[in-house]
Amino acid sequence: MDGAWWPYSRDLVPEVLDLVNHFPSAFGRICRVIYSTPDWDRNVRRRIQADRVFVSLGSFPKDDTHLVMLRSTSPRVSRVLLLLVVPPEWDERTARHAMLVAASPSKAATGRAILEESRDLDLAGRLSHWEDDGGESKSPSGTGIGSRTNADGD
């Protein structure tokens, strides 16, 4: 797992378009997205037009990993990134905990395990309150490092 993504809704097409159009250019263009069907409302499209590229969408029918797999066109970096999908309805504290765990280089947990742990810690009142967000603010688009996307621990 390379990081996490906290979309604003369960509507796959606009969320993927936003992610692809605002993804850091250092990773190259995203050309394919494989998603876990339980995380999203029904999708019938297999291909969408982003700002500069067509993006193929696919899923495994019974996949329940809570991950998206992004395939990049870049020959300079890993061509595949795995991101945990944090439920859009989660509060910021619980979502940020899940994102930090997913971006941790020492983690070996599955997407489902990370989400369950984060939810359980929140329900038990064991997640500390954020006192300082490090100067980051949410972008209106909902994507980008330091906002609702967290890749490679950034």
Ranges of each domain in the chain = 3-129+138-151
pLDDT, average across residues 9-34: 92
Distance between CA 129 and CA 126 in Å, rounded?
9
Q: What is the pLDDT of residues 24-61, one digit of tens each?
A: 888 888 999 999 999 999 777 899 999 878 999 999 77
For the chain, what percent of residues have pLDDT higher than 90? 47
Contact 148, 24 (CB under 8 A): no
**CB burial class (10 A; 0-12, 13-18, 19+) of residue 37?**
middle
Indicate yes or no: pTM above 0.85.
no
Q: What is the pLDDT of residues 98-120, one digit of tens each?
A: 999 999 887 678 899 999 999 88
Length of the chain measured in residues? 154
